[in-house]
Amino acid sequence: MMKIDRDLLSIQEVRNLIQQAKDAQKILATLTQKEIDKIVKAMAEEGMRASQWLAKVAVEETEIGVYEHKVVKNLFATKRVYEGIKDLKTVGIIHADEKNRVYDVAEPIGVIAALTPTTNPTSTALFKALIAIKSRNAVVFSPHPRAVDCTSQTAEIMHKAAVHAGAPEGIIGCIHYPTLEATNILMKHPDTGVILATGGSGMVKAAYSSGKPAFGVGPGNVPSYIERSADVNKAVKAIIDSKTFDNGTICSSEQALICEKLNGQEVRLVLKDRGGAFLPEEDIHKLERHAFRCDGSLNPDIVGKPATYIAERAGIKVSPDTKALVVELGGVGMNFPLSREKLSPILAYYEVENWQEACELSKKLLTLGGMGHSLSIHSEDHEVITRFALEKPASRIVVNTPSCLGAIGGTTGLVPSLTLGCGTLGGNSTSDNVGPMNLLNIKRLAYEIISPEDLQRQLFSSQVETDKDEEVVKKIVMEVLKKISV
């Protein structure tokens, strides 16, 4: 029997999935808002029921993160996201400006290529399936090669729930043989409408260079500043809880703690009480060599792993109850590798004189690898908070809350999302917390509210600087109005 090459299998599979998705989306696009909302509700409820199982298979397959925390992420991606989108209008006229007689009409994009990461494979798939169907789009998932089983199970669960509630077969698909060739075909296929990419910077860059519209996310290198007016106990608890949530795999988790020399001693004491282990200089160098490879890339062996595991692999002795490895650094940049994003419970630590120094240091950290992403501040001084928000190259500034949950809209009023845009600062097409409205084409229906003659009178109601200018402008306007009347 002839053995079929895996690459060929994957290429044929993705072509079949796109064709099925295209056919199904044409049917989905004809459904009413009530019918769409019924399907989305059924999907969210089924996703909630499956949250524990999907967390289990995700941890077993990827060996990344914490089971209990992945349950929370799956529930966030279903229950919290559903609550945030259930009342959105995504069919027909979704907004009416009666005064100006302009009406916004929602139009689905078509087939969405959804790239998912190994760090949050099931929660990201649950989230993307919901926002795709809410906006009447089909979705085809390209999972990370080390998260194929858990991602495909997630897609299957959501597909069955959608179909049972009235969606057409094939509306949600997933590649079971993920290869680079298959992902490239998915992104570049003529019937792919948009790419929704969540993952490493290389994958996101590939999405943007595919020739298709894309929503990608940049890396996060989130600074967290504890200002002198902050409640230190509350702030440190929030940072440690956030940094260790799912072992630091959410891109909006804190990467560096900045405090002032004025409150530094208190911050250090609370950090130690909360499970933070300050490493001596020689151990910092050991951790640097283990955390980053020779080419400067992050060692995947530390991603989503407990602090004690990382310490042991790096040859560092810490207490068994250590929750985070704290490294006090003297600068930012390539000479200080641990000042970068680490996707693990490793926390850089800095002390500064005042909020102005904290401001400049935060900018350096964001410039190093988190431009346009997120920043957190703990403070009771509204003026300092406002200055921080105005001056930082971050799309989300969360205040007095764990950054990993605040930035995704869990503990704040931001749009609940597991795809966080970084705007042009981070090389992204949006700075939004991506949701269903990003996956719609909005058409405008506009009625005449002023006649061409009245428009001309308005344009010439104010005196121009010279008669010559007036004659030139008048001539141009008359020519335009003649063309309009023809």
Cite the active site residues.
251
299 CB contacts (<8 Å, ≥6 apart)?
290, 291, 292, 293
Closest CA to 417 of 158, 128, 203: 128
The CA-based dihedral angle spanning residues 433, 436, 440, 445, taken in that order and rounded to the nearest 10 degrees:
-100
Per the CB < 8 A criterion, the answer to whether 78 and 130 are in contact is: yes
Per the CB < 8 A criterion, the answer to whether 116 and 141 are in contact is: yes
Three-class SS of residue 346? strand
Closest CA to 156 of 180, 129, 195, 182: 129
188 CB contacts (<8 Å, ≥6 apart)?
210, 211, 212
Burial code of 325-339, b = ≥16 C-beta within 10 A, e = fewer?
A: bbbbbeebeeebbbb
CA–CA separation, 284 vs 309, rounded Å?
A: 15
Per the CB < 8 A criterion, the answer to whether 304 and 266 are in contact is: no
